[in-house]
Chain A
Amino acid sequence: MRAFRGNPAGQSSGLGSYPVPQAVITASSLTKKYKDFVAVDGISFEVAPGESFGLLGPNGAGKSTTMRMVGAVSTRTSGDLSILGLDPNDHGPEIRSQLGVVPQQDNLDQELRVRDNLIVYGRYFGIPARQVARRADELLEFAQLTDRAKSRVDDLSGGMKRRLTIARALVNDPRILLLDEPTTGLDPQARHILWDRLFRLKEQGTTLVLTTHYMDEAEQLCDRIVVVDKGAIMAEGSPAALIKQYSTREVVEVRFGSDRNAQVATQLDGIGERSEVLPDRILIYSDNGEAALTRIVERGLSPMTSLVRRSSLEDVFLRLTGRSLIE
């Protein structure tokens, strides 16, 4: 099977080989307003070719709106945006012909069979019928849907639909793949299958831009992320660097019962670098979790449950915004 590559944009589009651009996406003070509501508030970022870049943030943070602007679909209110060196205001169709888009809500054509969905979509990029038929078969294999080629879309499971949507997004051999909440609503097994497929694309050098509110997804797939909240960027870096910068190596989670957590918290002063009191548990940030837990017990406090774990992006988000990612 032919590899899916982000660069150069593949033999199929007939672009030949040319120098690798330094940044495939450049956003500067990118803003989107709907009347009085500011959905995206002047964000700036760059994405390098072959990079896997994530926008991490809670629902309503402006991630999807950003993706729609990057996808050359939604018109920006102000700021600058360049995709593959082109301005989406002037070259929307040209930019979109180089992108693969996996939207938050599947929008497969339910009136068509699985394979026909790929064929029809490939035609939108001007790919000749014979070539797109061959491509559809390759992609069905990649998405592990070969045996469902003639199924109705409605008869597919949620995970299969998602894989078909990803296969459809790859039909034009895109240089950049945009994934908006790719695994939301899927069961854990389906998520892992999907991550595996996306990871293969990443290994093959496709530029991935994805939004997620799942920290584990961001950690699995992204080389670099920006944490977004209320339309603005709070922090930027690799998952490991962000954790290092904004959290400790380990976290102790202790539960004393929902009505006692706040009261006990005062007795934990001095243990760990800092703590967060949540309604259901207390988080104590320390580079040595086991040692911190020992100190808690030494103070005569006996938590109902305790857990020592590595810090995650969830902790970074909590630190930056004072709120949890999934609310």
Chain B
Amino acid sequence: MTTAVERDAIIAAGSKPRRWGSFYVAEHRIRSMRAYLQTLVVTSFGNPLVYLFGLGVGLARLVPTEIGHATYLEFVAPALLASAAVTVAAEECTYPVLMGFKWNPIFYAMNAAPISGTQIVNGLVLAVGVRMLPTVGIYFVFMLLFGAVPSALGVLGILIAVFTGMSVGLLIMAYTSTIVEDRGQMALIQRFGIMPMFLFSGTFFPITQLPVYLQWIGWISPLWHGTQLGRDASYGQSEPVWLIAVHIAYPLALGAFGWWSTARTVTRRLNA
């Protein structure tokens, strides 16, 4: 028995969260990240130093030959950049999702407010992006300092890395959002998902070095596609246009699927 005027007023009051809800969730997540800001800063500066020194400088001495017109450091740097983004994804798309349902069930609280399941997912994705961007940016600065970026186009590597990281992250999220009981699945993702992906995605050597029956791991790995794209930008490795298109389309498709699937799962769990 509500009057039309009142009805309109209520609908108007709800329009703001409907439009901006995803950003409110991102704001919340970023505020939570402040709690471990120190760790974020230390790892953001420490990781590139350790990896670029250890692999790019140390290992590079053992690999004196060029790999497709690039020094080993130039070859490995775009891969490390993309991997740094994937590492952030592996952290931010696992526990925070499980926690939001279970140990710190704030998703239910958000959903009791005007925020929808899809907005929760959008907000998480935005926050992951916000965390990824400075991490990758700092990494890129170190790459410049180490002389690992021969071309100015290499700066695109930052966007490519975030794109790659998000693609992997969204796939992980699609899985973690379905977890009801923690039975060590997070460790499994790390050991049997992320680690092999690092090793077989052409990070440290071209996947053509692998026997053909192992190369498929690279082909299906979004990290390989992202890494190759980064190399295309950084030192212009010669790849056909169609392959570059695949490097873009494939991670995009995986990410889109992950996003859609996560939103569906989260909505279903919240509104049961």
Contact = CB atoms under 8 A, between A and B. Distances in A.
Interface stretch (B7-15, B152-160, B244-252): B7-15
Nearest to A100: B112
Given A109-B106, A124-B17, A126-B16, A71 B112 contact: yes
A23 B194 CA distance: 55
B26 to A, nearest CB: 11
B116 A92 contact: yes
B41 interface: no
A21 B4 CA distance: 11
B97 to A, nearest CB: 14
A71 B105 CA distance: 17
B24 A124 contact: yes
B113 A121 contact: yes
A292 B11 CA distance: 59
Nearest to A127: B16
A112 B17 contact: no
Place the interface of chain A in its size category: 35 or more
A9 B6 CA distance: 10
A16 interface: yes
B9 A105 contact: no
Contact of A84 (B2, B27, B110): B2
- Select the residue from B9, B116, B271 with max chain A CB neighbours within 10 A: B9
A16 B9 CA distance: 8
Contact of B13 (A71, A85, A98, A112): A98
Query: Taking chain A's interface residues, is the majority helix, strand, or loop, or is none over half, making it mixed?
Result: loop
Nearest to B96: A111
B57 to A, nearest CB: 38
A124 B5 contact: no
A59 interface: no
Contact of B106 (A9, A107, A116): A107
B40 to A, nearest CB: 14
B113 A73 contact: no
A253 to B, nearest CB: 41
B165 interface: no
B31 A21 contact: no
B110 A124 contact: yes
Place the interface of chain B in its size category: 35 or more
B14 A93 contact: yes
Contacts of B3: 18-19, 21, 85
B11 A91 contact: yes
Nearest to A111: B32
A44 interface: no
Interface in B166-222: none
A120 B35 contact: no
A103 B7 CA distance: 26
Contact of A116 (B5, B13, B31): B31
B114 interface: yes
Interface in A185-237: none
A122 to B, nearest CB: 9
B108 A107 contact: yes
A124 B7 contact: no
B20 interface: yes
B111 interface: yes
Contacts of B270: 73
A124 B21 contact: yes
Given A96-B114, A103-B112, A116-B31, A85 B7 contact: yes
Interface in A90-138: 91-99, 101, 103, 105, 107-112, 116, 120-121, 123-126
A85 B14 contact: no
A14 B113 contact: no
A110 B106 CA distance: 9
Interface string B116-151: 100000000000000000000000000000000000
A94 B10 contact: yes
A238 interface: no
B28 interface: yes
Interface of B: 1-3, 5-7, 9-11, 13-18, 20-21, 24, 27-28, 31-32, 35, 104-106, 108-116, 270-272
Given A15-B13, A85-B6, 17 more contacts: A9-B10, A13-B13, A18-B3, A19-B5, A26-B1, A85-B1, A85-B3, A86-B11, A91-B11, A93-B21, A95-B10, A105-B105, A107-B108, A108-B109, A120-B31, A124-B21, A126-B24
Interface of A: 9, 13-16, 18-19, 21-23, 26, 34, 71, 73-75, 84-86, 91-99, 101, 103, 105, 107-112, 116, 120-121, 123-126, 168, 172
21 contacts: A15-B6, A18-B6, A21-B1, A23-B1, A84-B2, A85-B1, A85-B3, A85-B7, A86-B11, A94-B10, A94-B14, A98-B14, A107-B106, A108-B109, A112-B32, A123-B27, A124-B113, A126-B16, A126-B17, A126-B20, A168-B109
Closest 10 A/B residue pairs (Cβ)? A85-B2, A126-B16, A94-B14, A124-B113, A93-B114, A22-B1, A101-B112, A107-B109, A97-B14, A21-B2
